[in-house]
Structure 1
Amino acid sequence: MNSPLRLGLAGLGTVGASLARLIEAKAETLANRVGRSIEVVAVSARDRSKDRGIDIAGLAWFDDPVALASEAEIDVFVELVGGADGPAHEAVKAALGRGIPVVTANKALLAHHGVSLARLAARKGTEILFEAAVAGGIPIIKTMREGLSGNSVSRVYGILNGTCNYMLTRMEAEGIAFDDCLADAQRLGYAEADPTFDIGGFDAAHKLAILTSLAFGCEIDLDSVFIEGISAVTNDDIAAAAELGYRIKLLAVACRTDTGIEQRVHPTMIPSSSAMAQVNGVTNAVAVDSDLLGSILLAGPGAGGDATASAVLSDIMDVAGGVLPPTLGLPPAKLAPYKRARMRAHEGGYYIRLSVYDRVGAFASIARRMAENQISLESIVQRKLPGAVDPSTAPVVLVTHETTEAAVRKALEAVSKDGHLKGEPKMIRIESLN
């Protein structure tokens, strides 16, 4: 059997501790599969005395992850510190600078610095592996980078944030208000004390930017992702969606068009009968449309210590077996510059909710403004909401045919200026998922 694969592990939080336990518990199985043992030999964390349920007494300890990456006698650097910059970024650069392969679960690091780090890795004859950075335990990175390498991808989309999916699932099933559902998610550990990164759509955007690069062979461009979170979604929207045959999910979508690449994260109405609509709770799912395989869907746990550690371990096993594919699927020099697509018609149309003052001419004005912007309406419904306390307004739901977001926003701005709306209009895209 070959010499052991020596790991330097930076970060002993939930995932890091789970990884250490997995490697110890499955030592014989792992060695048999790759022909060599896998051993954690050096670690770095904030608190050496903290009880993590693992024995670190015989391991080399580094207070600074950068020092671990720079000085430890290791074969692989495993970065589980987190964060786009700071120690995580510096430590990964230090390891790559030594020609040491890096395994990471850090989506923010890759979304912000993935291309530059891939170039550094290529110069030093090594690579970065990051299965755990997107969709937790779902093997979507290997699927796209290796399993679909002969395919031409036209679209990748999915539910990439478990917190949002959990909240939208409970709001629909139990009628819980957004704020109460968020408080429950925080109590259960599904949402952070500051949940902005999750409910604002930013977590999903980081993951989507990485998938976009793998799908289309282009450089990562996080700044080109359109981002809208779920904080404006109400129980009324969810009820209206159900009446129309849809469910609301926070969907991340990247697709290739004639003019470039489109990336967006936003609440979306999807057909209740679709496979994606059946993905509930904290589960994640990713679908890929390609020329040879058609559409495939992968679903599974998107977070959690063991699920994420499993993905990290799969990358470590690849390194142990000598499998080091290009970080972003292609050599960095072969990655195309990101080209942002021009605004185009959205095939699924839009759901629009308005609070309209109940007076003569209001409905005619709305219809006129829509027509002026070449927006065809599939339906216009005045919904009676239980418990409504303002008799001066009427809740109105519009569903449009295919149109552009720019046209919808221009029409709604005109309706607002006409003085017929109370508050801001709400707009949600509808995806057919065909």
Structure 2
Amino acid sequence: MAQLLEYIKMALYSIKSNKGRSFLTMLGIIIGISSVITIVSIGSGLKADVMATDETKSVSVIVNKDATSYTNIITWDDLKAVKDNLGNKAIGVVSSGATMGTVTTRKGEFDASVTLTMPDEEKNPMQTSIIRGNYFTEDNVLNADSVCVIDKASALYLFGTPDVIGMELEATIEGVLQTIQIVGVRDSDEELMKANDEAMKMFGMEMPVFLEMPYTAAENWGSQIEDFSSLTIYLNGGDQANAATKSAIQTLSARHLGEGEELFVKQQEMNMAEAMGSVLDMVTAFVAFVAGISLVVGGIGVMNIMLVSVTERTREIGIRKALGAKTSSIIVQFLCESAIISGIGGVIGILIGAGLSGLISVLEIGGLSARLSPTAIVLTTCFSCGVGIVFGIYPARKAAKMSPIDALRQL
């Protein structure tokens, strides 16, 4: 141990004696370590932001196609029973359908996307809020009223104003002319609407207007909807998903007893947050790998400077070997020096990387956030020391194998 401490002192003295050269040697290690830590921290921050938006807001239960050939067996009464049994686990239960049509105003004729749904659709947490009027009611559903809720962008598109409560639309749906009264206006996500509009224009299409109507209104154009193949539960909290799904399946199964086993199942939805998280992990790993190449370059710099050091200290090596120093002692001496150079560079790189990550988070540069990864810090520290040892082996072995006679000739 005493001998090792002596080697460390000698290494520190050598580094101190050649400050400029030692710093330039460390520079590759510093850049590599700080780059990897900053990139991994940004990747971790982005992933955390994505996963934070992954609160489960709805779940769907569908009729199992493997259990029955006729899937439209969920009734309006089933939906009300499911909602009653869920209690405060859910804020709404709906089943919806969709169709297309055209709407005619004084401005002309426009394509229309019609959602046939239920009053609880107003509580859809993924939708914008009602800003004028009201959503249609259960009475509208029971009476099959031709009423609709329109979004603000569609109202502006058709009438030039969002104040359209009580106005009527002339709509042709499935070949049948309808007069539809507007009872509510939903706010619009302007950025999403703009993006969708640009996407539609790329294919030479125009954005349709969007209408939400009672599902029973389909009776007015001869398309009676009585049963459904699925239902969607709007949750009161993300932690209610499993309990709500289980309760809904139990309620439906009890009401359809004898129609088949495992008649209702949870719909497996694609988890976009997890998919995005996986993509971010891969991108972060790739970019960190590219940044890590500078560590290899830094390691080559360490090897180069250690070879210079061996050449400069040839006489010292010759004297030590002549006095009986072992080959292993010479190797350890030079490995200590290369490891310390890389270690110091690693520590500086970690501090710079941590500082940059903190600065990015505080200033929110480019809207980015960064989270320091302890794993990344540990791995980069080990890697930086490892680089010094690996790339220091060749110079150390060269010094250790040097003949004392040849070394002393340079005196």
Indicate the TM-score class for this superposition, using the shorter chain for normalisation: under 0.3
Which structure's residues are more often helix, by fraction?
2
Which structure's residues are more often strand, by fraction?
1
The normalised TM-score by structure 1 is 0.19
> More relative contact order in 1 or in 2 (CA 8 Å, sep 6+)?
2
Work out which of the two has the higher radius of gyration on C-alpha atoms and give 1 or 2.
2
